[in-house]
A and B are shown apart, each in its own frame.
Chain A
């Protein structure tokens, strides 16, 4: 087994800021190495993401946090020259095992992107897309019910219920991003990956997304990449600090922001980085 420096099981106590939860592990990453062609982007990362909690990935630009996030649902597969070594275990099954079902993986692990990317279709069709292609509903009324459920869970239903057939591109930036969240939620994933979901939004829209994350973590395991440390402090239970493709430290968010273990982590968090 690996003896890498990053903690495998959280040794610290995650205080009951979050409601009673099991500290079981949803995603377990073991010795993950990632190459873009000859370029090694991730060096031997081992990390556990606990179930139904929010883990934030922080670090300066180019540290590999987004690359790491995308390995969790194999979104890097589409990049030519991408090579992965190591394991990503979700519910104890390695998603990189030969013959692993990528479509099933992506049904289980949803993703929300930095810039909202709704399809040029109606609001309804956007949310229904995942349901349709994965054939998850068997009747029109069931489809409509699932779409309503997803939009409600994304805190968007009341704003759009009277114009479901209108174009998704007519929504504001914050609404579009919540629509993308609804689209991901519609297929009832177990994990949601968010890549700087609020970085393109104004403060009010941002705080709506953050409040939504608080609600979502009751039912979903969430991983969020953010360059905004205060955001990481606000929404996450666990924080992982990446630097130059390595995982430097992972700790409960309270500990990370009051007394981190590594000096370089503290330098980053207090803004002492060059």
Chain B
């Protein structure tokens, strides 16, 4: 008895927009991490230049959401979908912002000597990227279980952050001449940890959208 509705087209357009935004955030993060680990300032520069376009995309998603609310009065599943998208868009935009911050740090770090021991920052970046990709896939499919799994992985990032924090504090105290560089690296780790939190928020919204269950603010108990 499914009837094709004009609203379905608009919802599909909205989904496309937010997924485009998500894709841009993914690319920004990947390029930012690449510019950091490969000391590629050109790539970093591109990430920074592209950020305006990402901001515009978020505003566009905002507009689409408010139009649907005002003109279509969506209900039930549709309502939860549009509401979730309206909340996910700014989260993606902030993830892209943090990617920019990482790119800026990459530019600053390119003139600093390379760190000696492996910090596992690259590993942290990989986890963040994979979580982001997984979250976007779960959202597209409306898969609440996949979303819950990804929330579980946030612990990995948090643990890694704590490890890197301790490691860098030790290095700063032991080798004060490279303190500036190590401080910058610490901030990069912080950005990645924040990205992990945002991805968790996106997954919680996916669960709400699919199941109408509100699981946020439960401190990691999905």
Binding site for B on A (CB under 8 A): 229-230, 233, 256-260, 266-267, 269-274
Contact = CB atoms under 8 A, between A and B. Distances in A.
A266 B77 contact: yes
Q: What 3 pairs between A and B have smallest CB-CB spacing? A: A259-B212, A274-B1, A269-B75
A257 B2 CA distance: 19
Contacts of A269: 75-76
B77 A274 contact: no
A272 B7 CA distance: 10
Interface of B: 1-3, 5, 7, 73-80, 212
B75 A270 contact: yes
A274 to B, nearest CB: 4
B1 to A, nearest CB: 4
B8 to A, nearest CB: 9
A271 B5 contact: yes
Contacts of A229: 75
Contact of B3 (A233, A257, A272): A272
B80 to A, nearest CB: 7
Nearest to B77: A266
A177 B73 CA distance: 27
Contact of A266 (B3, B7, B76): B76
Q: Is the interface of A mostly helix, strand, loop or mixed?
A: helix
A267 B4 CA distance: 12
A273 B75 contact: no
A44 B38 CA distance: 72
Nearest to B72: A271
Contacts of B73: 230
A41 B73 CA distance: 32
Nearest to A229: B75
Contact of B80 (A256, A258, A267, A272): A258
A259 B5 contact: no
B73 to A, nearest CB: 6
B7 A259 contact: no
B1 A270 contact: no
B212 A267 contact: no
A259 B3 contact: no
A274 B3 contact: yes
A256 B76 CA distance: 7
Contacts of A267: 1-2
A229 B212 CA distance: 20
B79 A257 contact: yes
A273 B3 CA distance: 6
Contacts of A273: 1, 3
B80 A259 contact: yes
Contacts of B78: 270
A233 B79 CA distance: 13
Contact of B1 (A233, A256, A272): A272
Contacts of A272: 1-3, 5
Contacts of A233: 75
Contacts of A259: 76-77, 80, 212
B113 to A, nearest CB: 56
B81 to A, nearest CB: 10
A269 B80 CA distance: 13
A257 B76 contact: yes
Contacts of B1: 267, 272-274
A258 B76 contact: yes
Given A267-B1, A274-B1, A260 B76 contact: yes
Nearest to A273: B1
A273 B212 CA distance: 22
A217 B3 CA distance: 36
Contacts of A266: 76-77
Nearest to B83: A258
Contacts of B212: 258-259
Contacts of B5: 270-272
A65 to B, nearest CB: 18
Given A270-B7, A274-B1, 11 more contacts: A230-B73, A257-B76, A258-B75, A258-B79, A266-B77, A267-B1, A269-B76, A270-B5, A270-B74, A271-B3, A274-B3
Nearest to A269: B75
B181 to A, nearest CB: 51
A273 B75 CA distance: 14
Nearest to A267: B1
